[in-house]
Structure 1
Amino acid sequence: MTAVDTDGWVRTSRDGAVLTVTLDRPDQLNAQTPATWTALKAVGDSLDDDVRVVVVRGNGRSFSAGLDRSLFSADPSTAGGLGQLGSMPAESAQERIREYQAGFRWLRSPGIVSVAAVQGHAIGAGAQLALACDLRVMTEDASLRLPEATLGLVPDLTGTSNLAELVGYARAMEVCVTGRPVTAAEALTWGVANAVVPAGDLDGAVATLVAALTAPPAGAVRETAALVRSAVRNTPEAQDAAERAAQARRLAELAAR
């Protein structure tokens, strides 16, 4: 089954427990617009319990070059543009951005593990989309870049928290403030990339990872994923309690069988 959002250039396809979400605007290097984020949120809102893995990818030679250039206009009449957003009252602008962030945050929803398949450039919103996923497979020529500060802006699509969780305070600060690209080799060393492969091997590497993610029992994977996500924020005592509760649920389910 395949579905296409023609306004946001988001295409989805389903193969059993695996949902693939593809940015499908290759002629513009999968540049994103607010319609893209609305379409992504709609995908998240439509998830059912049978989906176990979500793969996010970009069609063509780049994962995503970030925000569509037309939206950098300072003209407040440009729909969805930065000028329009900047002309809003602060509370309205923040609410609009909150809606945009929802298109990214669902990729760490309970019940799924998300994987970004990254080739070529992942810039700005593209990098933040890749970082929003649980795991990343990158090609050797791929790079991630958050240039917002160099443009007088900030990363605002969940990128700062996700990057800091992955690489720590100092590296996140450097990458976000300088806007420099992080190469695939660096991403692998830092733990941002789970694997780096030749471009021709990307599909196979993602398929291998997806197979490993769907091999264990679904309930065990869901509980374990939830524990790993909470571990980066919980105190040791709170995490110990979360582990106890999760294990009790697993044991009860196994005993009921």
Structure 2
Amino acid sequence: MATPAKELVPLLDKDGVRLTVEDALATVTLTNPAKRNAQSPALWRALAEAGRLLPGTVRLVVLRGEGKSFSAGLDRQMFTPEGIEGEPSFIELARSGDAELDAAIAGFQEGFTWWRRSDVVSIAAVQGHAIGAGFQLALACDLRVVANDVQFAMRETSLGLVPDLTGTHPLVSLVGYGRAAEICLTGRFVGAEEAVTAGLANIAVPTADLDAATHDLATAILDAPRESVIETKALLRGAADRTYDAQRTAERAAQSRRLRDLAGLGE
């Protein structure tokens, strides 16, 4: 008889976000499929809290959304005069002072910044709609596995806003300025095939295979020694900001650390 899978007790389960951890693998799940995982300030705070709660044993984080859509973007109630209960409306935010408004947006961004930290690798498993804030959340991760029905779109500019949840930097890095500008300024949908071709996604699979493909990618990454993954990720993340010669120097320094560690001579 097969051993039943053990049920994981969430470290966090609130405001549309659930965090579970099993050994070196953490899973962050958006848990409001009835609203297509629409996002709110409470959800962003919960995402930031999930990052703070990650145990030091975690090497890889999978981000996923329940239901047919990964995340359809901002909760439209945020655009109404009354906003979301317990949260300042956009109108109230606009009336605040410069420092207060900047601090509020910086707080929103915190839920999107920790996914690329050096000691973990993050994978977004994306199906259905990933619009606006949903697109930016997927872009916050290191890697993206998408279902064939995925629909990316950056709608902020069409709504009179800008993408401000850390999505512009990775978007330009992945697809280049011209393609990024066209995607953002038109607000059009980007499907699975284009996403893979343009570099937005690493692989596209049938929707039924999304979890399995994500698991396979996670397993392959976890098979590599942790310190070599951390060093390699740091080299790749910093490459765009270094000259060719500076990158060569960084490679030599990283390899020296790895060789000494493997030889038992590390600090």
Give the TM-score, by structure 2 length. Answer: 0.92
Instruction: Give the aligned partner of residue 175 of structure 2.
Output: 167
* Counterpart secondary structure, 1:216: coil
Instruction: Give the aligned partner of residue 129 of structure 2.
Output: 121
- Pick one of 182, 187, 197 that aligns with 1:189: 197
- Pick one of 224, 229, 232 that aligns with 1:224: 232
Contact 2:78 2:84 in 1 (8 A): no
**1:134 and 2:138 aligned:** no
Contact 1:65 1:126 in 2 (8 A): yes
Contact 1:10 1:24 in 2 (8 A): yes
Tell me: CA distance 1:76–1:113, structure 2 relative to 1, closer, same or farther (3 Å). Answer: closer
Equivalents in 2 of 1:66, 1:77: separation in Å?
A: 15
Instruction: Give the aligned partner of residue 13 of structure 1.
Output: 20
Which runs of 4 or more aligned residues in structure 1 lie more than 6 Å from their structure 2 counterparts after TM superposition?
Answer: none
Deviations 1:14-49 (A, max 9, x none): 121110000000110000110111111111122233
Q: State the identity as a percent.
A: 50
Contact 2:12 2:50 in 1 (8 A): no
Instruction: Give the aligned partner of residue 62 of structure 2.
Output: 55
Deviations 1:140-179 (A, max 9, x none): 0101111000000000000111100110110011111111
Instruction: Give the aligned partner of residue 213 of structure 1.
Output: 221
Deviations 1:82-110 (A, max 9, x none): 11221111221111111111110100001
What root-mean-square deviation, in Å, do the aligned CA atoms of Structure 1 and Structure 2 show?
A: 1.5
Equivalents in 2 of 1:114, 1:36: separation in Å?
A: 18
**1:27 and 2:34 aligned:** yes
Deviations 1:178-212 (A, max 9, x none): 11111111101011111100010001100110011
* Counterpart secondary structure, 1:177: helix
Instruction: Give the aligned partner of residue 3 of structure 2.
Output: none
Shift of 1:239: 1.8
* Counterpart secondary structure, 1:256: coil
**1:251 and 2:259 aligned:** yes
Residues 35-184 of structure 1 mapped to structure 2, 5 A cutoff: 35-75=42-82, 79-184=87-192
Tell me: CA distance 1:38–1:76, structure 2 relative to 1, closer, same or farther (3 Å). Answer: closer
Shift of 1:111: 0.8
* Counterpart secondary structure, 2:242: coil
Structure 2: unaligned runs, 5 residues or longer: 1-8
Equivalents in 2 of 1:240, 1:101: separation in Å?
A: 33
- For 2:247, the aligned partner's letter is Q
Equivalents in 1 of 2:208, 2:164: separation in Å?
A: 32
Equivalents in 1 of 2:83, 2:119: separation in Å?
A: 40
What number of residue pairs does the alignment pair up? 256
Contact 1:34 1:80 in 2 (8 A): no
Equivalents in 2 of 1:216, 1:145: separation in Å?
A: 34
Give the TM-score, by structure 1 length. Answer: 0.96
